[in-house]
Structure 1
Amino acid sequence: MLRLAMTTDAETFERVRGPLAERGIEVGHVRAKERSLRVSGGDDESADVASADIPGEFDGFDVGLVYPTRLMEGAVVDERLGVPWVNGRDAVVTSRNKAGVLARLDAAGLPTPRTTLVSNPVDESVVVDAVEGFSYPVVVKPNSATRGVGVATATDPDSLLGVVDYLNLIHDYRATGDKSFLIQEFLPDARDYRAMVVDGECAGAVRRELDADALAAGRWKHNVHRGATARGVDLDPEARDLAERAAEALGIDYLGVDLLETDDRLVVNETNARPTVDAATKYEDDFYDRFAALIRRTAERE
């Protein structure tokens, strides 16, 4: 039985345990954050007690599923586990950089929303110049945030500078690593899809939708963590191909690709190298077979 270490115990962990066990892969949880971790002093008999390690918790694993989201803790967990990862550190860092992803996809000839990166701190004049050529409203989003955190629309120059003032307060904190944000064209009424690409092939997709009350209240962000509902859909060949080409351009084996579709455009909006696995009914029948095959092949790298 192959042993897989996962550093999340949220929805994905619970959903994948059974299907992967049926395919000979035992899934275990390794807690990577909000705890203490032994870094050195392993010969000291009291070290594990002092660091609150559980004896043997890092032992016996063959492969890991997605490098921990907190890179500092991840470096310690990675060393303690000593296993190859499905989506290692490089994949997570690549996907987290929204601007870097869009720049690479654009260079590869893939359609993306028009986007400008602003690196704080800058004068207001830089922001005003950066938005030239865009039509209001525009989307403003932190470059490295997830789950739609900090994403807002601006309807005119005053509201744009107001959003930037808010970001300035956050970026003023010295320990904030990424001080950049994006200004992006807003695609009204776009259909929002999350395509799951496993080992180079699209393995299914969901459409994320807001209910009527949310739409009537003026909400527009389709993040499931903010209340949107995800339902399984069959993507047309163009959308499947675009998702697969995005994963290939980034060189990431296991990737959530966010697509926005209007009546006349289909673009890659973001990617996620730590995608949540939804209910199996929302994916293709062989999803877990392909997922398990990728995990096994990764384990064989060492």
Structure 2
Amino acid sequence: MIRIIPKPTDTPGDNSTQMVLSALDEMGADYDILTLRGLNPFQIPCQGDLIWVCGIRQDGIEFEQLKALSLKNRLVNTPDAIVTCASKVLTSALLIHHDVPTPETIFTGSKTDIEVFLGRHGKAVYKPVYGFDGDGIFLFSDVSDLADPPYYIQEYVQNDRDFRVFVIGYDAVGAIYRQSPHLTHNIHKGGTGTPVEIDPAMREIAEAAARAIGIDYCGVDLLKRDDGGYTVLEVNGTPNWHCMDAPIPRLIAEYLVREENK
């Protein structure tokens, strides 16, 4: 049985869960809705099912419930993959470990370390370790701009856009570029998305990033470098697919059916 955990932030005008449910309906696939509210992690309500996690609340409770569900079920995405993507430190560590290009990054509690970093780069980007939707990210060139540690700091890669590549089953299936007048080009922050063809270099790095994380489906955010290559900013474990030409809900539905039948 395919079970669906709805995205808690869905709205009538932006309902990711319903898009995939409609695709499953068109395919004639059987599924059921599973809500995490009130779920007892010590009494797992199902066993041997495939559970699609469209999204969870960032409150710690629902993640623990997912971990309990994963003891007896196959989760897409897995709790480990979701928590990896939520941590910029762990994401960066895995990308570097697997030789996936990513901006030079340090994670430290020392402003002296950051001064050395700024000496090499001139300016850098501060990011909250567990931030999302571009919140709390800013460009700086003086350590006095920083508050209390810890500090997750990346080199600044000059750009006027970023790219999001949607990857399912380690296969890049759709992409957009995002632009805004801000440092981050997140659509929730007023950025605009435009569909773009996936070029070979983009495909290679996005699929390599997904494999490094070990994730069923994700949104890989890229910047283009001066040499024409790309570098990975982050990997999103519960990504939106705004503005993409590719039929992402149908592709997710097909993937769920394939995985449930294995």
Q: TM-score range by the shorter chain?
A: 0.7 to 0.9
Of 244-253 and 66-75, deviating more is: 66-75
What is the match of residue 118 of structure 2?
A: 131
**Deviation string for 1:84-134 (max 9, x for gaps)?**
21111111122222222223222322211111112x4x4x43432443422
Aligned equivalents of 2:101 and 2:24: distance in 1? 35
What is the match of residue 73 of structure 2?
A: 83
Aligned pair count? Answer: 252
Q: How do residues 41-56 of structure 1 correspond to structure 2 at under 5 angstroms?
A: none
Q: Larger C-alpha radius of gyration, 1 or 2?
A: 1
What is the match of residue 273 of structure 1?
A: 237
Partner secondary structure for residue 121 of structure 2: coil
Matched, 1:17 2:21: yes
User: Contact 1:139–1:183 at 8 Å: present in 2 too?
Assistant: yes
Aligned equivalents of 1:153 and 1:29: distance in 2? 42
Matched, 1:296 2:257: yes
Aligned equivalents of 2:75 and 2:6: distance in 1? 11
What is the match of residue 62 of structure 2?
A: 73
Structure 2 regions of 5+ residues with no counterpart?
A: none
Partner secondary structure for residue 27 of structure 2: coil
Matched, 1:229 2:192: yes
In the alignment, which of 240, 256, 263 is matched to residue 219 of structure 2?
A: 256
Which amino acid in the other structure matches residue 277 of structure 1?
Answer: W
* Percentage identity across paired residues of the two chains: 27
Distance 1:29 1:226, change over 3 A: farther
In the alignment, which of 120, 128, 138 is matched to residue 152 of structure 1?
A: 138
Structure 1 regions of 5+ residues with no counterpart?
A: 43-57, 169-178
Aligned equivalents of 2:56 and 2:46: distance in 1? 17
Partner secondary structure for residue 75 of structure 1: helix
Partner secondary structure for residue 22 of structure 1: helix
Which amino acid in the other structure matches residue 182 of structure 1?
Answer: Y
What is the match of residue 197 of structure 1?
A: 167
Matched, 1:184 2:154: yes
Distance 1:269 1:31, change over 3 A: same
Aligned equivalents of 1:250 and 1:23: distance in 2? 30
What is the match of residue 106 of structure 2?
A: 116
What is the match of residue 103 of structure 1?
A: 93
Q: TM-score, normalised by structure 1?
A: 0.72
Aligned equivalents of 1:133 and 1:68: distance in 2? 39
Q: TM-score, normalised by structure 2?
A: 0.82
